[in-house]
Amino acid sequence: MTMQARGSRDTGGGPITLPSAKRKPHNFHAQVIHELGTAIVSGRFGQDQILPGDAELTEQFGVSRTVLREALKTLSAKGMVEARARVGTRVLGRARWNMFDSDVLAWHLETGLDIGFVDALAEVRMALEPEAAALAAARRTDQQAERLSHWLDRMAEPGQSANQFAVNDFEFHKVIAEASGNPFMLSLSAVVEVALTASFAISSPVEGGEAFDRAVRLHRSLCVAIVDREPEMARAAMRQAIQSGVDRAHQALGEGDAAADHHA
């Protein structure tokens, strides 16, 4: 997953790339899904708009009618479109979209993000990740504790690029989700990945010594709480880590006051 936010600072390492960047359109079917999906998310095809007919779309994408219809079925399963006899394929409102779908999340990043999207992601994380951290503190294995410490050490390494830090941070949070022992928490990893990508594309902690030190310090507190089996401390530490990233994004966009008001 690679993106650069509008108005973001130069992170010094190019666009932020996390593991799902490997998920590129690899065939005609995937390409059509990607092109139509990003067009819908960007608003080029607006809510309630009827998509162009099959003949026009097959010619535009250079694919067969079968490939096109399979792609539309995939978008329908994501809650983005609805086919109606004698009417055509209609774009559904955002309230119908599966916002936890990894493709839908990625398309939001590709088409440009705003601080409202960053805040919405943070609210989802705040609702679930602190509990995942508390569960991890209660249930983690010794091996998971070692892996968590490993990724913390990687995060603390000096001189790393913004991209390296983002990957290390994501892997750290993945271990917590796994250690929670709850499969739903692990499924949240797509949201965490997008949230980190968005936040770091706006402003990465590696840009400044103080921001880097704070990020590492907060994650170290979280790691210690989980390793020491302190659920309440882990829950509080996770909230602080998430909030710090949101605050940094607001400050980078010159909206520090708005961020404070929003989370008061």
132 in the same domain as 45: no
* Domain assignment present for 107: no
Tokens of 157: 């390494």
User: Residue holding tokens 């913390």?
Assistant: 152
Using DSSP's 3-state secondary structure scheme, residue 141 falls into coil
Cα separation values, 117 from 105, 178, 195, Å: 10, 26, 9
The CATH number of the domain holding residue 256 is: 1.20.120.530
Which residues of the chain are modeled with pLDDT < 50? 1-15, 19, 21-22, 256-264
126 in the same domain as 69: no
158 vs 47: CA distance, rounded Å: 47
Question: CB–CB of 16/189 below 8 Å?
Answer: no
Q: What global pTM score does this model have?
A: 0.81
Tokens of 166: 């983002």
90 in the same domain as 20: yes
Distance between start and end Cα atoms, the chain: 32
For position 263, what pLDDT does the model report? 45
For position 255, what pLDDT does the model report? 58
264 vs 258: CA distance, rounded Å: 10
For position 257, what pLDDT does the model report? 44
Structural domain for 61, as ranges: 2-96
205 vs 213: CA distance, rounded Å: 8
Least Cα distance to 194 among 21, 7, 9 occurs for 21
- Geometric angle at alpha carbon 104, from 100 and 109, rounded to 5°: 110
- Of 44, 63, 96, which marks where a domain is finished? 96
For 68-76, the CB contacts below 8 A with 24+ separation are 68/32, 70/29, 71/29, 71/32, 71/33, 71/36, 72/36, 74/29, 74/33, 75/33, 75/36, 75/37, 75/40
213 in the same domain as 138: yes
175 vs 145: CA distance, rounded Å: 9
* Domain assignment present for 199: yes
Query: How many domains, in total, are found in the chain?
Result: 2
Using DSSP's 3-state secondary structure scheme, residue 124 falls into helix
Cβ count within 10 A of residue 88:
15
119 in the same domain as 91: no
